[in-house]
Structure 1
Amino acid sequence: MDDYPLLDLFLTMLFFFLWIMWLFLLFRVVMDIFRDDDLSGWAKAGWLIFCIVLPYLGVLVYVIARGRGMGRRDVKQAKDAESAFKDYIRTTASEGNAGSGGTNELARLAELHDSGALTDEEFTQAKTKLLA
């Protein structure tokens, strides 16, 4: 046990953690390069080559130059996925219950609630009344 002191163990764990964090950041940058529709194909290839040839410098420069856009693209992707999911639920529910007007009313109530026209209490009351 004396061959590997506690401080060396701590430093090894710290370096391992930092290495894993850097790998996570590298993969996030590479995913963001491919996700960005504003970049041309040549720009994507250039950033990718820069991140592969000089990985530490490439990732650092990318985060400095385009880091703010990374967050915006993440939020946009989450909102797009949520709206696509809601649209899928609405179309599936309306196709499954083509004869019932309750589904359409629920969808209309959800839209009014999302737009802020209905408060949470009003939405809950209307939904309970509709489902009863």
Structure 2
Amino acid sequence: MTLWDWLLWFFWIYIFIAYLMILFQIFGDIFRDHDLNGWLKALWIIFLIVAPFLGALIYLVVRGRSMGERSMAKMRSMQADQDAYIRATAGSGASAADEIAKARDLLQSGAISQADYDRLKAKALG
């Protein structure tokens, strides 16, 4: 086998992997789309199995824009969920120094005792 044969072999492997990625993306989009009823989903799947290259090309031409819009909506939803999770787990965001300063102010005003201040300080530092 010559170098060019190897390069050609790697090129076709690359094309095949790219085709599989596109095909999996199309199958995922078909099942993610709530606008298509079951029969249309089945027809698209049959078309992709019977004529895979032509079916993938037609699907990308006909439904490519809405496929991208659904993908972006899913990403925005996932980003919003992640942001909400981060906000919920981050807490108040006050630093330990801020919490100790608030506890000291409460101690000086007489609102809490020295034992309460020590407990709040240990909680802020720990």
Aligned: 1:86 with 2:86 = no
C-alpha deviation, 1:87, in angstroms: 3.0
SS in 2 for 1:43: helix
C-alpha deviation, 1:82, in angstroms: 1.5
Counterpart residue number, 2:50: 53
Of residues 33, 49, 69, the one that matches 1:36 is 33
TM-score normalized with structure 2 length: 0.68
C-alpha deviation, 1:28, in angstroms: 0.5
Q: What does residue range 70-85 of structure 1 map to in structure 2 within 5 Å?
A: 70-85=67-82
Counterpart residue number, 2:114: none
Aligned: 1:19 with 2:16 = yes
Q: Give per-residue Cα distances to partners, 1:74-104, cap 9 Å, x unaligned.
A: 110011111122333445566xxxxxxxx2x
SS in 1 for 2:36: coil
Of residues 41, 46, 67, the one that matches 2:64 is 67
Instruction: Name the CA distance, whole Å, in 1 between partners of 2:58 and 2:10.
Output: 27
Give the aligned CA root-mean-square deviation in angstroms.
1.8
Figure out how many residues of one structure are paired with residues of the other and give that number. 96
Instruction: Name the CA distance, whole Å, in 2 between partners of 1:73 and 1:81.
Output: 12
Q: Which structure exhibits the higher relative contact order, with contacts defined as CA atoms closer than 8 Å and separated by 6 or more residues? A: 2
TM-score normalized with structure 1 length: 0.65
C-alpha deviation, 1:5, in angstroms: 1.3
Counterpart residue number, 2:120: none
Q: Which runs of 5+ in 2 are unaligned?
A: 99-126
For 1:26, the aligned partner's letter is L
Q: What does residue range 96-115 of structure 1 map to in structure 2 within 5 Å?
A: 103=92
